[in-house]
Amino acid sequence: MAIATIRLKEYKKVASPTEMAVIDFILKHPDEASRLTIYKLAEKTFSSPSTIIRLCKKNGYTGYKDFSKDLIYEQAIRSNYKEKNISDLTRTDEVDEIVKKVTHKNILSLEETAQLIDNDVVKATVEEILTCEKLSIFGIGASLIVAKDAQLKFTRINKMSYVSEDWHTQLLMAKNMSEKDVALIISYSGQTEEMITCAKVAKENGAKIISITKTGDSPINQMADYSLYVASSEFSFRSGAMSSRIAQLNVIDILYTSFINRMYEQSLEILEKTQIKKERD
């Protein structure tokens, strides 16, 4: 399941003004909020204990104690990652230091991304992909690499999907979508203008939107029907997407494997049929 603050960020889209005040306080002061009693939290947010309990239940918790336990656990994980924090790459780094830093960064990105995955969202996303008429995948730059990997995987399992390296062609794909289709939009920042445009057009045509972005509010995941998150753990200079690309590919692998598992016997037959066997000399 998704960690506490991610659930709140998602629910914030439909929250009432009173609930919004509680959510904003928790998101801005997660450490402090995790130590507060329900009465103290109600006092600080000018709300009531009953409002907070209802908010917790709407986000899948049995009550405030259940939510508080999840929030405490989340803060412990974040504290643990801070302790493991490694310095950015520097000009004086030797190859052995670069190997350690890049590898460690990628591992941490995968571990943190695993904490952000909401199992229910994955299940719902797989169902949408399974039943859609057309799966169109969008991404530019480094995210295009991930989009092409997704297209290859789903096409092999006989879920025909579409992607283009040309943005104008991607926009045409979005313009030709309908309520029977699914748009998988990949953007690390969630703020890439071209992807925002494609998402708007696809949504206007009634297509379901699945986004893969980093955590935090962004125009793309706000439009999405289903949001999947990767960790925000790039090196500061980010000359090229590295840990974010690894994390995005991992999310695609999770969706693809879950899709196969959903129709296991049929998938095995298709995988055997589509295997391209190489001749040996």
- Residue 101: inside a domain, yes or no? no
Q: How far apart are CA 209 and CA 220, in angstroms?
A: 9
Distant-in-sequence, close-in-space partners of 130: CB < 8 Å, separation ≥ 6: 159, 259, 262, 263
112 falls within a domain: no
Tokens for 46, please give them: 């000018």
Instruction: Give the pTM.
Output: 0.71
Look up the CATH number of the domain holding residue 216: 3.40.50.10490
* Total structural domains within the chain: 2
Supply the CATH number for residue 65's domain. 1.10.10.10
267 and 220 in a common domain: yes
Query: Is residue 72 in a domain?
Result: yes
Same domain, 139 and 223: yes
Is residue 161 located within the same domain as residue 62? no
Q: Is 152 among the domain residues?
A: yes
Low-confidence residues of the chain: pLDDT under 70: 1-2, 77-90, 233-241, 278-281
**69 and 139 part of one domain:** no
Inside any domain, residue 69: yes
Evaluate whether residue 111 is within a structural domain: no
Q: Are residues 46 and 144 in the same domain?
A: no
Least Cα distance to 260 among 268, 249, 272 occurs for: 268
Please return the burial class of 191, using the count of CB atoms within 10 Å of its CB with bins 0-12, 13-18 and 19+. middle
57 part of a folded domain? yes
Judge if 151 and 268 occupy the same domain: yes
Q: Are residues 157 and 63 in the same domain?
A: no
User: What pLDDT sits at residue 279?
Assistant: 67
Residues 134 and 233 in one domain: yes
Domain residues for the domain of 181 are 119-274
Q: 10 Å Cβ neighbour count for 136? A: 24
The answer to whether position 140 is within a domain reads yes
Please check whether residues 47 and 126 belong to one and the same domain: no
Amino acid identity of 165? E
Last residue of a domain, one of 35, 66, 81: 81
Query: Do 241 and 184 share a structural domain?
Result: yes
Q: What is the pLDDT of residue 166?
A: 94
Distance between alpha carbon 106 and the CA centroid of its chain, in Å?
A: 16
